[in-house]
C-alpha cells in the first residue's frame, strides 16, 4: 500500500503544541506514544468522517472515545445546542433541562432511583466511591487490574487506558496514603475476589468494575462473573458499582446492567450522557444517594454540574438513539463485521495471528493470539508491535481508531458496511505481508 498521505500541517501544529502542553496533548492517550509517530490534528467531523488539518479524510471508529454514537455533527444535536446557546450556557442553578435528562435516564434504567450530574467520568467514579464509603462507614474498595476509572488518586493503581499504554500501571505524584485502601483484583478471577474478601471482607465499602472492560483492549466478563460479584458483595454488605462510563447507553438502552441482567447498587455514566459536551453522572439506590450533600454529609459539588449545553446535547443524543433505532443498526453493523472477520481472517485466526472480540458496538483486534484475553496479564502478552503496524496502515488508508492497542474501536450509527470492508481488508493485507 503506497504511503501517500501528507501530515505536514499536523506535524507543524504538534511542534507548537509540545511547547505549551506536556507531550503536546491535553490527555496522554492522544499522544501516539503507544503506536509511534505524531498525533493527527483534526479540523472537523461530519457524520462518520473526520478531517485533519492537511485535508486527509478518515472514517471514524474512535468516536471521541465513546460519546459520538451518532457520529459527528448530528443535525438534531446541532439545533438543540444552537437553541440553548441563545438562552444560556450555564446558570449555576437548577434547570428543567437537567431534570428532563435525569428522568429519561431513569426511564431507560429504572434502578437509578436518584442521581447526580457531574462534569467528567473521573468525578462520577470518585463520587460514587465516596457515597459507598459514606453509607458503609468503611474505607477500602476493590478495583480490577486493567480497568480504568478516571484519574482520581485512589484509582491510579494497576489501571488501564493510558497508564497501560505508557507502561506504568500506577502514577507518580500519588501519595501511598491515598491508595492504601485500594485493593486490586484480577478481572474474571473468582479466586482473587475470594482471597480479598477473606482478608478484608468487613472493611470493603465497594467493588467497582467495568462490566465490559474496554480500557485494556476489550475484555468480556466470563458468563456468571458479574452475578458472582453481585452475590459476594451482597453477602458482605459491600456496594457494587458498575462503571458504565463506556457501556452506558451503548451496550444496550439499559447499559450493561440490563444487558447482563445484573443490578448493581450504584452506576457511573459519562461520554454518551453528555452527547460530546462534558457531562457525567452517578446514581442508583436512594438509600445510598441520600448520603450526598445537602441531604447527607458526604460532600460533592461542581460549578458546571448539570451544564445546560451538555444537558440538551445528552437529551438530544438519547432521543435520537430512540428515533433512529440506533441499536438495531449498530447490531447489524456488528454482525456484518463478525462475518467479515470470519470470511477474511479465518486462516490467520487458525495460525494464532489474530483474535477479534466484539460486543454490540465495541470491538477490538488482538494480535499474536487466537484466544480472547480474560484479564490484563493476557492482554499484555498479545503482540502490540503488530497492532501498531496495522494501526499505521489504517491511518494511511483513512481509518481512524484510538491510537493504542489497549483501547477499543467503536461503531457509530452512521458507519457503512463498505467502511468495515476497508478496515478488515487492511488487517488482512498486513497479516499477509507478515506471513
Ligand X SMILES: NCC(=O)CCC(=O)O
Ligand Y SMILES: Cc1ncc(COP(=O)(O)O)c(C=O)c1O
Catalytic-residue membership of 222: no
> CB of 248: closest distance to ligand X in angstroms?
13
From the list ligand Y, ligand X, none, which binds 407 (C-beta under 5 to 8 Å, kind-based)? ligand X
In angstroms, rounded to a whole number, what is the distance separating the alpha carbons of residues 342 and 358?
Answer: 13
Based on CB atoms, which residue is closest to ligand Y, 125 or 388?
Answer: 125
Considering the candidates 58, 72, 148, 406, report the single residue annotated as catalytic.
148
Binding status of residue 407 toward ligand X by CB under 6 A: yes
From the list ligand Y, ligand X, none, which binds 150 (C-beta under 5 to 8 Å, kind-based)? ligand Y
Considering the candidates 60, 243, 383, 419, report the single residue annotated as catalytic.
243
> CB of 58: closest distance to ligand X in angstroms?
18
From the list ligand X, ligand Y, none, which binds 29 (C-beta under 5 to 8 Å, kind-based)? ligand X
Q: Which of residues 58-97 bind ligand X (CB under 6 A)?
A: 65
Binding status of residue 244 toward ligand X by CB under 6 A: no
Q: Are 118 and 102 in contact (CB under 8 A)?
A: no
From the list ligand X, ligand Y, none, which binds 120 (C-beta under 5 to 8 Å, kind-based)? ligand Y
In angstroms, rounded to a whole number, what is the distance separating the alpha carbons of residues 266 and 295?
Answer: 17
Question: CB neighbours (10 Å) of residue 165?
Answer: 22
Q: What angle do CA 415, 421, 424 make, to 5 degrees?
A: 110
Q: Which of residues 150-169 bind ligand Y (CB under 6 A)?
A: 150, 161
- Nearest residue to ligand X, using CB? 27
Binding status of residue 161 toward ligand X by CB under 6 A: yes
| Burial bucket for residue 191 (CB in 10 Å: 0-12, 13-18, 19+) | exposed
Residue 163, C-beta contacts closer than 8 angstroms, at least 6 positions apart: 148, 156, 169, 170, 171
Binding status of residue 27 toward ligand X by CB under 6 A: yes
Closest CA to 249 of 240, 258, 241: 258
Phi, then psi, of 39 in degrees rounded to 5: -55, 150
Catalytic-residue membership of 271: yes
From the list ligand Y, ligand X, none, which binds 270 (C-beta under 5 to 8 Å, kind-based)? ligand Y
Catalytic-residue membership of 148: yes
| Burial bucket for residue 4 (CB in 10 Å: 0-12, 13-18, 19+) | exposed
Binding status of residue 243 toward ligand Y by CB under 6 A: yes
- Looking at the DSSP assignment, which residues form a beta bridge with residue 51? 44, 57
Binding status of residue 220 toward ligand Y by CB under 6 A: no
Handedness of CA 190, 196, 197, 203 (dihedral sign): negative
**Using CB under 6 A, which of 127, 165, 184, 215 touches ligand X?**
215
In angstroms, rounded to a whole number, what is the distance separating the alpha carbons of residues 288 and 297?
Answer: 12
Closest CA to 263 of 118, 110, 125: 110
Based on CB atoms, which residue is closest to ligand X, 169 or 215?
Answer: 215
Binding status of residue 149 toward ligand Y by CB under 6 A: yes
Q: What angle do CA 132, 284, 77 make, to 5 degrees?
A: 125
**Using CB under 6 A, which of 129, 245, 262, 266 touches ligand Y?**
245
Number of H helices, E strands in the chain: 15, 14
Binding status of residue 386 toward ligand X by CB under 6 A: no
Question: CB neighbours (10 Å) of residue 59?
Answer: 23
Based on CB atoms, which residue is closest to ligand X, 162 or 373?
Answer: 162
Question: CB neighbours (10 Å) of residue 344?
Answer: 15
Contact window for ligand Y (CB under 6 A) among 115-123, 223-231, 303-311, 353-361: 115-123
Binding status of residue 270 toward ligand Y by CB under 6 A: yes
Question: CB neighbours (10 Å) of residue 78?
Answer: 12
Contact window for ligand Y (CB under 6 A) among 96-104, 191-199, 238-246, 315-323: 238-246
Binding status of residue 125 toward ligand Y by CB under 6 A: yes
- Nearest residue to ligand Y, using CB? 121
Residues making contact with ligand X (CB under 6 A): 27, 29, 65, 161-162, 215, 407
Catalytic center residues: 148, 243, 271
Please give the residue ranges that form the binding site for ligand Y (CB under 6 A): 120-122, 125, 148-150, 161, 210, 215, 243, 245-246, 270, 280
Amino acid at each position: 500500500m503506497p504511503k501517500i498521505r501528507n501530515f505536514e500541517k499536523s506535524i507543524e501544529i504538534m511542534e507548537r503544541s509540545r511547547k505549551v502542553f506536556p507531550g503536546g496533548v491535553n490527555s496522554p492517550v492522544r499522544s501516539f506514544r503507544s503506536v509511534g509517530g505524531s498525533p493527527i490534528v483534526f479540523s472537523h467531523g461530519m457524520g462518520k468522517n473526520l478531517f485533519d488539518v492537511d485535508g486527509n479524510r478518515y472514517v471514524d471508529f474512535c468516536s471521541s472515545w465513546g460519546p459520538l454514537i451518532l457520529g459527528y455533527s448530528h443535525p438534531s444535536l446541532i439545533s438543540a445546542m444552537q437553541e440553548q446557546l441563545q438562552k444560556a450556557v450555564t446558570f449555576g442553578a437548577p434547570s428543567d433541562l437537567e431534570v428532563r435528562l435525569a428522568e429519561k435516564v431513569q426511564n431507560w434504567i429504572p434502578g437509578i432511583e436518584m442521581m447526580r450530574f457531574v462534569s467528567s467520568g473521573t468525578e462520577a467514579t470518585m463520587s460514587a466511591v465516596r457515597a459507598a464509603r459514606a453509607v458503609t462507614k468503611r474505607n477500602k474498595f476493590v478495583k480490577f487490574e486493567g480497568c480504568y476509572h478516571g484519574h482520581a488518586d485512589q484509582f491510579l493503581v494497576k489501571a488501564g487506558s493510558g497508564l497501560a499504554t505508557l507502561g506504568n500501571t500506577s502514577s507518580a505524584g500519588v501519595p501511598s496514603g491515598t491508595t492504601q485502601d485500594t485493593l486490586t483484583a484480577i478481572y474474571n478471577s473468582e479466586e482473587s475476589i475470594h482471597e480479598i474478601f477473606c482478608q478484608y471482607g468487613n472493611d470493603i465499602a465497594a467493588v467497582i468494575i467495568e462490566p465490559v472492560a474496554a480500557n485494556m483492549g476489550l475484555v468480556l466478563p466470563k458468563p456468571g462473573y458479574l452475578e458472582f460479584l453481585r452475590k459476594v458483595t451482597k453477602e458482605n454488605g459491600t456496594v457494587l458499582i458498575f462503571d458504565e462510563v463506556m457501556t452506558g447507553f451503548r451496550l444496550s438502552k439499559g447499559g450493561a446492567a440490563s444487558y447482563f441482567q445484573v443490578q448493581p447498587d450504584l452506576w457511573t455514566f459519562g461520554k454518551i450522557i453528555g452527547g460530546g459536551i462534558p457531562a457525567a453522572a452517578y446514581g442508583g439506590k436512594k438509600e445510598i444517594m441520600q448520603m450526598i450533600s445537602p441531604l447527607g454529609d458526604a460532600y460533592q459539588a461542581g460549578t458546571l454540574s448539570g451544564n445546560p449545553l451538555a444537558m440538551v446535547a445528552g437529551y438530544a443524543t438519547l432521543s435520537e438513539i430512540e428515533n433512529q433505532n440506533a441499536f438495531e443498526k449498530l447490531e447489524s453493523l456488528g454482525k456484518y463485521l463478525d462475518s467479515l472477520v470470519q470470511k477474511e481472517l479465518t486462516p490467520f485466526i487458525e495460525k494464532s495471528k489474530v483474535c477479534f472480540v466484539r460486543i454490540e458496538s465495541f470491538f477490538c483486534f488482538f494480535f499474536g493470539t487466537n484466544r480472547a484475553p480474560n484479564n490484563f496479564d493476557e492482554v499484555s502478552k498479545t503482540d502490540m508491535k503488530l497492532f501498531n503496524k496495522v494501526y499505521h496502515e489504517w491511518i494511511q488508508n483513512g481509518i481512524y481508531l484510538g491510537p493504542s492497542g489497549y483501547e477499543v474501536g467503536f461503531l457509530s450509527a452512521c458507519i457503512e458496511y463498505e467502511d468495515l470492508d476497508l478496515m478488515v481488508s487492511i488487517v488482512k493485507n498486513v497479516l499477509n505481508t507478515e506471513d
